[in-house]
């Protein structure tokens, strides 16, 4: 871990701030397998009824399922609905690099 990142984490802890917010990390909240909220995203890369790909600070987040739809899309948060079957991170941060290694994605 980089020295600057460790310092940021230490300051966040001292101030009682959530590390994910300070570092801009994505936060996922699943509501069973029927909906999901994602905070701290950096935009959509792909959107369809069976696959949604989002840019995050950790790389590309791929959500696979059926009847997927965006219930809400804000500048930094989004909510999707549908039958969520697979969620995986892939690629380098912020690049949205193509070539997903998501196992279920390759099977489609």
Which pLDDT value is given to residue 101? Answer: 60
Per-state percent for the chain, helix, strand, coil, to nearest 5: 20, 50, 30
pLDDT of 10 above 90: no
pTM equals 0.73
pLDDT of 19 above 80: no
Class of domain 25-94: mainly beta
Which pLDDT value is given to residue 17? Answer: 73
- Residue 74 exposure: Cα atoms within 13 Å on the Cβ side: 8
| Phi, psi (deg, nearest 5) at residue 103 | -55, -50
**Distance (Å, rounded) from C-alpha 62 to C-alpha 77?**
15
């Amino acid at each position: 871990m980089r020295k600057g990142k460790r310092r940021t984490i230490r300051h966040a802890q001292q101030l009682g701030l959530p590390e994910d917010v300070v570092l801009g990390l994505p936060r996922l909240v699943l509501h069973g397998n029927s909906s999901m909220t994602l905070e701290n995203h950096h935009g959509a890369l792909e959107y369809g009824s069976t696959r949604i790909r989002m840019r995050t600070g950790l790389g590309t987040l791929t959500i696979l399922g059926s009847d997927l739809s965006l219930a809400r899309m804000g500048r930094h948060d989004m909510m999707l609905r549908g039958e969520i079957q697979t969620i995986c991170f892939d690629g380098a941060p912020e690049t949205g690099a193509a070539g997903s290694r998501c196992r279920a994605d390759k099977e489609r």
